[in-house]
Amino acid sequence: MLLEVKNLHAGIEGKAILKGLNLQINKGEIHAIMGPNGSGKSTLAKVLAGHPSYEVLQGEVFYEGKNLLELEPDERAREGVFLAFQYPVEVPGVSNSQFLRLAYNEKMKHLGEEELDPLEFNDLLKERAKIVEMDSSFFKRSVNEGFSGGEKKRNEILQMAVLEPKLAVLDETDSGLDIDALRIVAEGVNKLRGSENAIILVTHYQRLLNYIEPDFVHVLADGKIVKEGGKELALELEEKGYDWVKAAGK
Amino acid sequence: MNLQAGKETIYNAEFRRSLEQSNQPGWLKSLRENAFAYFTENGFPTVQNEDWKYTNVSAIIKENFGFEASSIDAETLKIFAYPESKQTQLVFVDGKLNKELSDISALPENAVVLTFEEALKDERHAQTLKEKLARSINYDFNGFTALNTAFVDEGAFLHVPKNAKIETPILLLFVSTNNKANFPRVLIVAESFSEATIIESYARSNEARYLTDGVVEVFVADEARIKHFRVQRESHEAFHYTATAVNINRASFYDSTNINLGGKLSRHDINVKFNAEGGEAFVDGLYMLNDSQHHDTHSVIDHALPNCNSHQNYKGVLNEKSRGVFNGKVFVREDASGTDAQQSNKNLLLSNDARVDTKPQLEIFNDDVKCAHGATVGQLEEEELFYLLSRGLSENLARNLLTYGFAEEIINKIDIESIKKELDEAVLNRLEVNLEA
């Protein structure tokens, strides 16, 4: 098992948001986490990545058998956990290619593998950028600075493509995307799915799941999973709305 | 109480010697004498003076500086020179022109770059000097400007004639050696419709202790455009003071970027005055301080007449036990309707022992204006830090990268490639980041 979340309670600023969440994820699987606003979807994503503002109150999380909660955010990343941000941060003055090479080499160093020099890395970057249809003009630009909403999300997937995480958590990656950008992002994710990794799609809407087909759908309400099923659950949810599951959760 | 006021100091004998040996015209000699009399009476400013509240310069008095220029070989200086201005540069070592290292062979014929000594030999330039010198900032501004004016000797005189467009940047490099006091003096006169880029650079030959006390006056005539980069990379043991005084005329444009990285104790006064309508000025800067460095920027932007725009963006990065001071006064006077004045000072504190005192001051006496100012003092944003950590960057690297990004906004303004590169490297080095771009 790649990830096992057991009875997770977590919150922010003293307020409990996740209230006993259980989740099991194997390699090769795509899981969609759906739910209304405030149900705890993004909290789960941030807790998995180790955001310092979120506090784990109870429960355990195992990643490849290790206690994930004991690892610092950067250690988690180097171990293969990746969070695609809902609101990617701008890093002025540091070019996309510099930033990605630093991140890539930190990971390689950690794994005891060979680091790449700028030229070698540039070849890798060019190759991976095709996955999200980004041209090399993006490499020289400062990370996310002046990027449109869609470009920022594509850039997140480019980072994923370069860092090749074992567990990728995509937090509302579909929000704010027009139809073309959504298609590009979704196709990128589909190209990156494989038997050796797992993806968690955190999303409010079923729309993204038309493009990325999940193996499992979990519906979150008030900090707990209230309904689980296959991809057809997303369609049912779209039809009946979140009130249906909220009622089911009570 | 004034520091050393009325006392015999190390400066007395040198002043008399220098004045006696000089063959300067009478007006200049009497200006110098008046300035020295002011210094003798008032000494260096003290912390009792509101404008010097946070910057205590009393340590300068204990120093026994010499005045003889040392020789520096070209090899040492190479690192301070820039390919873009290789043949348009004047190099001063300990305040004296170094002929071997200076080269203005690539200067267009219509541009004048001379020492004061040379300029005074030419009737026309001598007249300009007489009309302009100490007219945008008088010796009685403070003890430093007085002492500088008293020691006016081999200053740098830049004259950009009407309509002249000088594309090559002109470098004025001031290098100091151990235990010297030197007094850089610059007069820049840009006539109407002219354009030029000036780099004013302060550097050290090694980690020496010395005093740089400079005054730079800039006159920007109607519709002239001046870009001015001031790069201060003194030794971390040095004392540095410079005053920059700028006069902006009708529809002229002045863009200054002030980088302060060096000095044990440094202070920069920059005063910009709009003398006519329609002028525009950018007054931006960065101070990046380590160990127990102290830097103080005091600026005054004076909107005396209508429809002028000023933009001020200063950033501070303070590490370890360093101390920063920013004081920005903007005056919008009664007649200055249609003024647009923006001011921002953002500070990043990287350690609990670092400290900054920032005070933006807007004084507005006209209703028809657009003004905004703001100052912040803070740490790195948690959300930004988390973003970098979540990509596997160590906390140290992540913090340094964000700090670099913060400072980069100012450095990025410098459109002279080699200077930008050098400053990037200096900042990255200080942060121990290797981008290997």
Structure tokens at A139: 């490499």
DSSP per-residue codes, A103-150? HHHHHHHHHT-----HHHHHHHHHHHHGGGT--THHHHSEETTT--HH
CA A15 to chain centre: 23
Does residue B258 register a pLDDT over 60? yes
B131 by Cβ neighbours in 10 Å (0-12 / 13-18 / 19+) ranks as: exposed
What pLDDT is recorded for position B1?
45
Residues of A with CB below 8 A from B432's CB? none
Q: Which of residues 358 through 387 in chain B touch A, CB cutoff 8 A?
A: 381-384, 386-387
Min Cα separation A228/chain B (Å): 29
Task: Please tell me which of the candidates A52, A142, A163 has its beta carbon nearest to residue B391.
Answer: A163
- Under an 8 A CB cutoff, do A98 and B390 touch? no
Distance of CA B341 to CAs A42, B254, B361, B372, Å? 42, 14, 12, 7
Residues of B with CB below 8 A from A94's CB? 401, 404-405, 408, 435
Task: Please tell me which of the candidates A74, A94, A118 has its beta carbon nearest to residue B394.
Answer: A74
Chain B CA closest to residue A75: B392
**Predicted structure pTM score:** 0.88
What pLDDT is recorded for position B436?
63
Classify strands A54-63 and A3-12 as parallel, antiparallel or unpaired: antiparallel
SS3 B187: strand
Candidates A94, A100, A120, A162: best to mutate against B (most CBs of B within 10 A) is A94
CA B256 to chain centre: 9
* Mean per-residue pLDDT pooled into runs of 10, chain A (250 residues): 97 94 97 93 97 96 97 97 95 90 95 94 95 91 92 95 97 91 95 97 91 95 93 88 72
Residues of A with CB below 8 A from B436's CB? 98, 117-118
Whether B370 and B340 have beta carbons less than 8 Å apart is answered as yes
Task: Please tell me which of the candidates B386, B388, B411 has its beta carbon nearest to residue A52.
Answer: B386
Q: pLDDT digit string (tens) for B283-329?
A: 999 999 999 999 999 999 999 999 999 999 999 999 999 999 999 99
Closest CA to A83 of A42, A36, A115: A42
Count of C-beta atoms within a 10 Å radius of residue A176: 15
Of residues B75 and B407, more confidence is placed in B407
Chain B CA closest to residue A102: B393
Q: pLDDT digit string (tens) for B138-171?
A: 999 999 999 999 999 999 999 999 999 999 999 9
- Under an 8 A CB cutoff, do B408 and A92 touch? yes
Does residue B434 register a pLDDT over 80? no
Q: State the Cα–Cα distance between residues A54 and B417, nearest whole angstrom.
A: 44
Does residue B8 register a pLDDT over 80? no
Min Cα separation A249/chain B (Å): 33
